[in-house]
Structure 1
Amino acid sequence: MTDLQDAFSFPDEFDIAPVRLTVDLGALVENWQEMARRSSPARTAAVVKADAYGLGIEDCGTALYEAGARDFFVAVMQEGVTLRSFAPDARIYVLSGIWPGQEPSFYEHGLVPVLASEEQLSFWMSVTAEHGDHPCALQVDTGFNRLGLPLEDAIAFADDVSRPASFSPVLVLSHLHSGDTSSSPLNRQQLEAFRKLAQAYDGIELSLAASAGTLLGPEFHFDLTRPGIAVYGGEALNGVPNPMKPVALAEARIIQIREAKKGETVSYGGTYQLTRDSRLAVVSAGYADGYLRSLSGTGVPLRQTVAEGAHGFVAGRKVPVVGRITMDLTIFDVTDIPSSEIRAGDYVELFGRNIPLDDAARAGGTIGYELLTSLGLRYERRYLYPGD
C-alpha cells in the first residue's frame, strides 16, 4: 500500500462520478425474451450495433448470448470482431457488408456479410471463388431506398444461370421504413413485396421485422426477427404504450445549488428570466455527455414548436431544465423541493425509471435511439446482472 493510499480512503468511483450510467442487464434480457415470445415460432436475433445502442457491446452482448441469443446483427466489421469474443458460436451478421481488404477478418472470425449492392455481390463471389465457401446474407430494398438490391434485380438474380452454384445466402432480409406507424399502408406494401421475394428464394431463411415489425404481428415475422431498440427499453411503435422495461438510467451530480432572484436570467444568452425567487441546481452533464442542447428549457429553436424542455427527477419530483444546456452543465429549477431534501452531491436522473427515455427524447425533438447512442465517454458505468 502506498503512502497516498494510507492517507486517503478511496470510495467507489460510481458513487462520486460526475455523470453515471446504470445498465440493467436483467431488464435487457427480459426485454429480449419478451420479443422472442412475441416472435415465436420465428427465431429472435439481437441487434448490438453502435456499441449495443450506446450501452456496451461486451456486457450487453454477453448477457444476450447467455440468455440464448444465437443470431446477432452489428453495423460494421469491427463490432463483429469484438462481439465474437463474447459469443463464440453465434452467427454474426454485418449489416454494412464487406469491403476489399476485410476478407481475412470475415473468414477468421466467422462473420456473415450482408450484401446490399451489385458491387458487393460481385466482389463477394470473387472472394469465395478464391478462398472457398463462406456464408453471406442478401439485403433487398422493398421500398426504403436505403441499402439493398432493387426488388426486381434480386428476384432475377435468384434464377440467374450465371450465378455460381456454390453461392447461396443463408438469409434474405429487408427493412420496414414505416414500421413504427402501425396504421401506415406502406407496411402492407412492403410486406407484399417481400412475399414476392420469398417465393424466389424458397428454402432460404427470411427476415423483415426489426422491433416495430415484430410488434406489428406474426405475418411480418418470417424466420428471424431482429429487435433492437425494444430490447434496450425504447419505444418501437408510435402512440402505443411501451411494453418494454427501462434498461438505462443516466444521472448527473449536482455541483451547486444556488439562490437566484425574481427577474434574473439563467444561462447563456439570458433567454430564461425567473418569475419568482428560485433555487437552481447546476449539474455536471451537458451536450458533451449526449444531453442534447435541444433539450434546453429556452433559447433553442425547438422551443418555438415544442413549448416545454426536458425534465429531470430528484428527491421524488420532476424538475424542469431552465435556460440553455451547455457543454458540461445543465441547470434545473428545484425551487419546489424543500431545501432539507436536496443538497450538492445528490444525483438528478436525466432519463431512466422516472423520466422515460423517449419522453426525454421528445423534449429534444428526437428519438430514444439518438439519446442512447449519443452517451459520451464520461459516464461511469455500472452493470446490474440478472438476479442482482
Structure 2
Amino acid sequence: MNDVLKKSVPEGAAAESATVGESAAGAILTIDLGAIRENYRRLKARLGGARCAGVVKADGYGLGAGQVAAALAKEGCDIFFVALLSEGALLRKALGWRPAIYVLNGIAPGAEGEAEAAGLTAVINSVEQLAAWHAAARRAGRKLPAAIQVDSGMSRLGMAAAEVEAVAGDLQAFDGIDVTLVMSHLACADEPAYPANEQQRLEFERLRKMLPKAPASLANSSGIFLGPRFHYDLARPGAALYGINPTPAEPNPMLPVVRLEARIIQTRNLHSGTGVGYGHAFHVTEPMAAATISLGYGDGWHRRAAAAAFLDGVRLPFLGRVSMDSIILDISALPPGRLKAGDLVQLIGPSQTVDQAAGHAGTIGYEILTSLGHRFHRRYVNR
C-alpha cells in the first residue's frame, strides 16, 4: 500500500466516527482510489473512441462521491451521473464548475431553479419533466442543457414510445433546451445472451431518431462488455468502477477497490452445550475458541449474511446471529493466542470479495457497498 490520501469519513457521517482515529475504530474500510482509476482506464480502453463517464450516485456507491469523482477527474473524466439533485449539488461543490453533472432521476417539480443555479443537467424522463425544464429555461432567459432518456424496454425511467412520438411532432417542445444526450438503460446487460439486450438496442435506435440529434448513450458497466454496437458515444459505468464484476459468468476483469476489516473485542473458550448469540441460534457441540468483532448490521453488514471473516487466508465462520454491533467468530482453526483484543480480521478483501459477500447475503455487490455505514474509519489510499 502506497500513499494514504485521507483518514476521515465523508461529510455527514456520525460525529463519533469523525473524532476517533484508526486505532480506536471498531472497523476500518480502506478504499483504493488508485484501483478505481485503473478500472476507469480498463473500461475506457474497451470503448475505443466512445467517451466514458463516471456514475457516482448514492455517494459514490457508498464510498464517497467527492473522493471518487476527484480521482476519476484525474483520469480525464469530465461527465458524471448522480441520481438526485442533492447529490449533484454536493458534487458540484466538490468538483467546481468544469464537469457536466447529470441528474438521472430528473428534477423534482419546483426544484428546477435550484438545479439551474447549481449548473446541473436534467435527465428528462417524461413530458411533464420536459415542460418544466422548458419553463425553467424561459425563466432563466437562456438555453438549459438536458439529456432525454427514453424507455427502451426496462419500464423504469424514460419517455415511453408514445411520449417520444408525441414530442417528435411538436416543433416547440425543445425550445430553450440544449439536448446534449439521448440515452436509455439496459435491463439485462449482465446476461449477454439475453434477447432483451438486442431488443432494447433496436428500440433505442428507433426512438432516438425521432428526437433532436445529439450524442447517444446506452451502455452501463455490463453493457460495455456487450461490444461496440452498444457503446454509442458515451458509456455510463458505475458498479465496475468500484470492483463489482460486470461479467458475472466470467472472471472479474476489474480490480478490487475495498477492504473491510473489523477489530477483535474479546476472545473466549466455549464449552460443549454452550448457547451462542441471540436466540442461542448456535449451540457448541465440542470445545472451541471464539472471538467477538466490532461490526454488525448497524454498520451495514446484512443480518442474513451467514459469511465468515478471514485472517491470513484462514476462514473464521460466523457463530449464531449477526448482532447490531458485533459478530461472534469461530477461531478454532487458528493457533491458540493468535488473535487478541485489538487485532483486525478481514470481511472484504483478497479472501472474500464484495461479490462473494453479497452471495452469502442473497443479494448483489451494489447493495453491499451502498449499505456500508459511516461508523467505520474510512481510509483512502492510492495503490
Report the CA distance between 1:168 and its aligned residue.
Answer: 4.1
SS in 2 for 1:321: strand
- Determine the C-alpha separation between the residues in 2 that align with 1:322 and 1:215: 40
Partner of 1:42: 50
Structure 1 portions without partners, runs of 5+: 1-10, 296-308
SS in 1 for 2:244: coil
Aligned residues: 363
Q: Contact (CA 8 Å) 1:315, 1:342: kept in 2 or not? A: no
Q: Contact (CA 8 Å) 1:213, 1:220: kept in 2 or not? A: yes
Q: Contact (CA 8 Å) 2:46, 2:224: kept in 1 or not? A: yes
Whether 1:75 and 2:75 are equivalent positions in the alignment is no
2:331 to 330, 334, 341: 334
- Determine the C-alpha separation between the residues in 2 that align with 1:86 and 1:26: 19
| TM-score, with length taken from structure 1 | 0.90
- Determine the C-alpha separation between the residues in 2 that align with 1:200 and 1:315: 58
Q: 1:164 to 1:194 in 2, by over 3 A?
A: closer
Report the CA distance between 1:240 and its aligned residue.
Answer: 1.7
1:275 to 278, 281, 285: 285
Structure 2 portions without partners, runs of 5+: 1-18
**Deviation by residue 1:204-256 (Cα, 9 ceiling, x = unmatched):** 11111110111221111111000001000112233221111111111110101
Report the CA distance between 1:108 and its aligned residue.
Answer: 2.2
**Deviation by residue 1:17-61 (Cα, 9 ceiling, x = unmatched):** 101110000001101111111122110000000000000112111
Q: Contact (CA 8 Å) 1:315, 1:337: kept in 2 or not? A: no
Moved more, 167-176 or 222-231: 167-176
Partner of 2:295: 285
Report the CA distance between 1:75 and its aligned residue.
Answer: 0.7
1:359 to 356, 359, 362: 356
Partner of 1:301: none
**Deviation by residue 1:269-325 (Cα, 9 ceiling, x = unmatched):** 112122321111100100010111011xxxxxxxxxxxxx21211133121112100
In structure 1, what residue type is equivalent to 2:114?
S
Report the CA distance between 1:164 and its aligned residue.
Answer: 4.3
Partner of 1:16: 24
Q: 1:272 to 1:334 in 2, by over 3 A?
A: same
Q: Contact (CA 8 Å) 1:315, 1:341: kept in 2 or not? A: no
Partner of 1:120: 129
Q: How does 1:28-177 map to 2 (within 5 A)?
A: 28-88=36-96, 89-131=98-140, 132-177=142-187
In structure 2, what residue type is equivalent to 1:291?
W
Q: 1:164 to 1:95 in 2, by over 3 A?
A: closer
Q: Contact (CA 8 Å) 2:30, 2:381: kept in 1 or not? A: yes
Whether 1:246 and 2:246 are equivalent positions in the alignment is no
- Determine the C-alpha separation between the residues in 1 that align with 2:149 and 2:72: 24
Report the CA distance between 1:101 and its aligned residue.
Answer: 3.5
In structure 2, what residue type is equivalent to 1:286?
G
Whether 1:348 and 2:357 are equivalent positions in the alignment is no
Q: 1:327 to 1:362 in 2, by over 3 A?
A: same
Report the CA distance between 1:177 and its aligned residue.
Answer: 0.9
| TM-score, with length taken from structure 2 | 0.91
In structure 1, what residue type is equivalent to 2:289?
R
Partner of 1:375: 372
In structure 2, what residue type is equivalent to 1:271?
A
**Deviation by residue 1:165-210 (Cα, 9 ceiling, x = unmatched):** 4434111111111111112111111111111123223631111111
- Determine the C-alpha separation between the residues in 2 that align with 1:235 and 1:69: 21
Moved more, 154-163 or 126-135: 154-163
SS in 2 for 1:339: coil
Report the CA distance between 1:262 and its aligned residue.
Answer: 2.5
Q: 1:340 to 1:315 in 2, by over 3 A?
A: farther
SS in 1 for 2:341: coil
Q: Relative contact order (C-alpha < 8 Å, sep 6+): which is higher?
A: 2
- Determine the C-alpha separation between the residues in 1 that align with 2:220 and 2:62: 18
Q: Contact (CA 8 Å) 1:58, 1:83: kept in 2 or not? A: yes
SS in 2 for 1:169: strand
Q: Contact (CA 8 Å) 2:83, 2:105: kept in 1 or not? A: yes
In structure 1, what residue type is equivalent to 2:271?
K
1:198 to 208, 214, 226: 208
Q: Contact (CA 8 Å) 1:272, 1:322: kept in 2 or not? A: yes
Q: 1:120 to 1:269 in 2, by over 3 A?
A: same
SS in 2 for 1:281: strand
